[in-house]
Amino acid sequence: MSKRVFSGVQPTGNIHMGNYLGALKQFVQLQRDNECVYCIVDLHAITVPKDPKELRENILNVAALYMVVGVDPAKSTIFIQSDVSGHAELAWILMCNSYTGELSRMTQFKDKSRASESAPTGLFAYPILMAADILLYDTDIVPVGSDQKQHIELTRDVAIRVNNKYGDDTFVVPEGRFLKEGARIMSLDDPTAKMSKSAENELSRISLLDDEAKIKKAIMRATTDSDGEIRYDPENKPGVSNLLTIYGALVDTPVAELERKYAGQGYGTLKKDLVEVTVQTLRPLRERYTEIRASGELERILADGAERAGSQAEIVMKRVKEKFGLGL
């Protein structure tokens, strides 16, 4: 049976291998049999200040990259979060039904606020905005990377809490969908941290638009270890395990098979082959990206998506406001 699927990506930079293998691959798989709503979550991007011009550019980049990897605007709704006002509106209602205690336990908040003396309130509250993003579309399935597990749990807790108070038909309680391989791609320079768009070191990630020289530099310099054995062991050999995971996910081959293939060989060979596989995978994506950005179609697709998403969101907002006794 067709389900409602919702997910999003922050326009905080170019989509990288982690976003692709953890989330976007699922976006494409799921659109075959489901009703999919894919958002560019620009309101999330401003939890830390952003240059407006750069933000606008990143929004269009992410939208184009959705299409480049195979999200089809004829099958899926693609839109920008801030174009549908229900996201921020529902977030406020959910904030009034969540606790500061549960938000302070979010690991991402703990990690990010540690670095800053005065963390913005948005950084504290954004998991509630994410809950609103999901609940606003009566979502059944949320395809994401495993770094989002805690946020999905929070979304479910808040939805169940509201349903208990205002009636079971207030919110659909969603489920996260995580891939077995690719759900957590690690940073190339520090394989104990996840690959991320906002990490300072460009060589910590492979972005989908990277050219051959950058891909080569990032992979050949990736942190490994000194024992020289190509073996999947994330705890003791996080760097090599990460390279094997990326390789396996790119060529749809189990990591155990790659371990056999590279038994007795050096890290240099594994890295060189991974460079080759990555370059082959990304080259056509870069070409398609240039075509899409030049076509002038993007704005129309996003405006159309916002209209479709807005109509769906209105149905849910009307229901929620009635349940809470808000408005006329």
Give whichever of 10 and 81 is closer to ligand AQP, judged by the CB atom: 10
The b-or-e profile of 57-93 (16+ CB within 10 A means b, else e) is ebbbbbbbbbbbbbbebeebbbbbbbbbebbebbbeb
CA 105 from centroid of its chain's CA atoms: 21
Q: What is the DSSP string of 107-169?
A: HHHHHHHHT-SS--HHHHHHHHHHHHHHHTTT-SEEE--GGGHHHHHHHHHHHHHHHHHH-TT
151 sits near ligand AQP (criterion: CB under 6 A):
no
Query: Least distance (Å) from ligand AQP to the CB of residue 20?
Result: 8
Phi, psi of 66 (to 5 degrees): -55, -50
Rounded to the nearest whole angstrom, what is the least distance from the CB of residue 188 to ligand AQP in the complex? 11
The closest alpha carbon to 310, from 102, 136, 90, belongs to 136
Number of residues located near ligand AQP, criterion CB under 6 A: 20
Question: Is residue 9 close enough to count as binding ligand AQP by CB under 6 A?
Answer: yes
Position 238 contacts ligand AQP (CB under 6 A): no
Q: Least distance in Å: CB of 30 to ligand AQP? A: 13
Whether 50 sits among the annotated catalytic residues: the reply is no
Interface mask toward ligand AQP for 75-114; x: CB under 6 A:
---------------------------------x------
Are 189 and 223 spatial neighbours (Cβ–Cβ below 8 Å)? yes
Does the protein bind ligand AQP through residue 23 (CB under 6 A)? yes
Is 197 marked active-site?
Answer: yes
Catalytic (active site) residue 149: no
Per CB under 6 A, residues contacting ligand AQP are: 9-10, 12, 18-19, 22-23, 108, 144-145, 147-148, 183-185, 194-198
Q: Catalytic amino acids?
A: 112, 194, 197
